[in-house]
Amino acid sequence: MDIIETKIPDVKVLVPRVFGDSRGFFKETWNRRELEKLGLDLSFVQDNFSRSCRNTLRGLHYQRERPQGKLVWVSLGEVLDVAVDIRPESATFGCWVSEVLSETNHRMMWIPPGFAHGFLVKSELADFQYKCTDFYAPEFERCIRWDDERLGIDWGGVAPGDLIISEKDARGRLFQDLFRPVIQRSDLER
């Protein structure tokens, strides 16, 4: 497996080795020993699978307490995957990174605890899978608005009216409202 660095050092793009022939292909999506060799000592407690149609946008989700690290990939279709750094002590606090994940590029993304996460489906259908380092805790789940101007996430030019967004995600809050004390403190420190 190879690692591609992103502009946020803790978020990694993983590229597994794919062995293919006329029958199809084989790849490992997770191997503890191989990832440890690459400096990622990960332990997972939950696997999730979602199927979504074109222009579905899910996120930007995070857990205020019991944050989850996620190893994510797409087994069918294509998505634009986005991670936002919400770690107040981080030099990249409030920054985001995105990566196209698809069944053809086989890329995976490691999103450590302390990040909000979301994705936009670019294909007709997408099967999105992820391993989590902590259990889902709905009482701690929060959602940042996908279209927050302060974050300025480039979702690839899809018109907002064409997006399919859950009612819960449409009620997401602005980054500055969720992290106001941290933002005010960092402004004073400049």
Q: What's the pLDDT at 190?
A: 43
Residues 6 or more apart in contact with residue 35 via CB below 8 angstroms: 1, 14, 41, 42
Q: What's the pLDDT at 29?
A: 86
- In this structure, are residues 79 and 59 in contact, taking their beta carbons and an 8 Å threshold? no
Whole-number CA gyration radius for the chain: 17
- In this structure, are residues 126 and 55 in contact, taking their beta carbons and an 8 Å threshold? no
Residues forming the active site:
61, 130
Question: What CATH fold (topology level) applies to the domain 43-189?
Answer: Jelly Rolls (2.60.120)
Residues 6 or more apart in contact with residue 92 via CB below 8 angstroms: 7, 8, 9, 85
pTM score, whole prediction: 0.91
Tokens representing residue 30 in the block: 């997770």
Q: What's the pLDDT at 189?
A: 47
What are the residue ranges in the chain where pLDDT is below 70?
Answer: 182-190
Secondary structure of residue 4 in the 3-state scheme: strand
Q: What's the pLDDT at 129?
A: 97
Domain locations along the chain? 43-189
